[in-house]
């Protein structure tokens, strides 16, 4: 049975190597087992998977790497400054400037239309690729939720090479559109419970999948 592969290395090791960065948790494991397209993409050689979920990191004996934390830290680091960043999701340029070390001319933002299912249409992909090429993006931040973002990030990566960061709610947490769980909840590995309390309608499905995925906790391994 195929296993979901994670790296034990830090994200900074792969910066500039034009990879697809995925920050995965237990809900991601559910997607891996139930969405063939998703599973196929996240196992491709250009993908590097990090344990966003505390439970996954503990199971594999590797350090947890949370997407929101990586986003906040990297956007203020030297490797991010002076480069071109393309953000896909519900954020605006002014918000990014206020919460990062980036300048206006280093930022482009695109909020794609809502689509049912887990994949965007071909016309939408062509449109985004055109924008990436025109902007000459170095880094592409995809925050449209799982499994859409992992699939979209890979589909774009095939046609335009850059570093792709599939960070989900990390963009919303960065600019304050959504509130991240306080530190004590994260320390206990209960971010999911906090989100369930604050956003019950939005979070219940993910929480349910979190618990269903426990049956597959053995189908993880450390690789590249």
Mean pLDDT along residues 171-181: 73
Q: Is 176's pLDDT higher than 90?
A: no
Question: What's the mean per-residue pLDDT of the chain?
Answer: 91
For domain 14-222, give the CATH number: 3.40.50.10660
Which has the minimum average pLDDT: 27-36, 67-76, 196-205?
196-205
pLDDT category at 163 given cuts 50, 70, 90 is very high
**pLDDT for position 175:** 78
**pLDDT for position 186:** 66
Q: Is 178's pLDDT higher than 80?
A: no
| Domain edges within the chain | 14-222
**Among all chains, which residue has been given the structure tokens 């990062």?**
100
Where does the chain show beta strands of DSSP type E?
Answer: 4-6, 20-24, 47-51, 85-88, 107-110, 139-142, 163-166, 220-222
Which DSSP letter does residue 6 get? E
**pLDDT for position 182:** 65
Mean pLDDT along residues 97-112: 95
Which DSSP letter does residue 114 get? P
Q: Is 171's pLDDT higher than 90?
A: no
CA separation, residue 165 to residues 5, 160, 195 (Å): 17, 14, 22
Q: Is 91's pLDDT higher than 90?
A: no
Q: Is 181's pLDDT higher than 80?
A: no
Spatial CA neighbour of 141 closest among 118, 182, 112, 115:
112
Contact, 24 vs 53, CB < 8 A?
Answer: yes
Mean pLDDT along residues 200-210: 82
Task: Decide: residue 2, CB within 10 A, 0-12 exposed, 13-18 middle, 19+ buried.
Answer: exposed
pLDDT category at 189 given cuts 50, 70, 90 is low
Q: Is 57's pLDDT higher than 90?
A: yes
Mean pLDDT along residues 164-178: 83
What's the whole-model pTM score?
0.92
Spatial CA neighbour of 25 closest among 115, 146, 129:
146
Q: Measured at the alpha carbon of residue 20, what is the angle toward residues 54 and 5, in degrees to the nearest 5? A: 50
Mean pLDDT along residues 86-100: 92
**Within 10 Å of residue 206's Cβ, how many Cβ atoms?**
18
Cα gap 54→159, rounded to integer Å: 33
How many Cα neighbours within 13 Å face the side chain of 87?
A: 25
CA separation, residue 132 to residues 4, 76, 121, 200 (Å): 29, 22, 17, 36
Q: Is 97's pLDDT higher than 90?
A: yes
Higher model confidence: residue 200 or residue 111?
111
Q: Is 1's pLDDT higher than 90?
A: no
């Amino acid at each position: 049975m195929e296993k979901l592969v994670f790296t034990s290395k830090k994200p900074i090791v792969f910066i500039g190597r034009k990879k697809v960065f995925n920050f995965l948790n237990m809900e991601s494991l559910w997607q891996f087992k139930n969405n063939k397209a998703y599973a196929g993409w996240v196992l491709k050689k250009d993908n590097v998977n990090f344990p966003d979920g505390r439970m996954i990191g503990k199971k594999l004996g590797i350090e947890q790497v949370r997407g929101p934390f990586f986003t906040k830290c990297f956007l203020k680091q030297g490797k991010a400054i002076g480069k071109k960043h393309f953000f896909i999701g519900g954020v605006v340029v002014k918000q990014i400037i206020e919460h990062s070390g980036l300048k206006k001319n280093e930022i482009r933002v695109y909020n794609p239309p809502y689509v049912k299912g887990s994949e965007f249409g071909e016309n939408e992909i062509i449109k985004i690729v055109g924008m990436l090429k025109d902007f000459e993006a170095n880094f592409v931040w995809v925050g449209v939720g799982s499994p859409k973002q992992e699939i979209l990030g890979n589909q774009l990566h095939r046609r335009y090479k850059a570093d792709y960061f599939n960070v989900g709610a990390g963009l919303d947490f960065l600019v304050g559109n959504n509130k991240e769980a306080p530190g004590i909840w994260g320390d206990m590995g209960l971010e999911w419970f906090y989100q369930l309390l604050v956003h019950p309608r939005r979070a219940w499905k993910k929480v349910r999948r979190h618990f269903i995925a426990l049956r597959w906790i053995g189908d993880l391994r450390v690789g590249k």
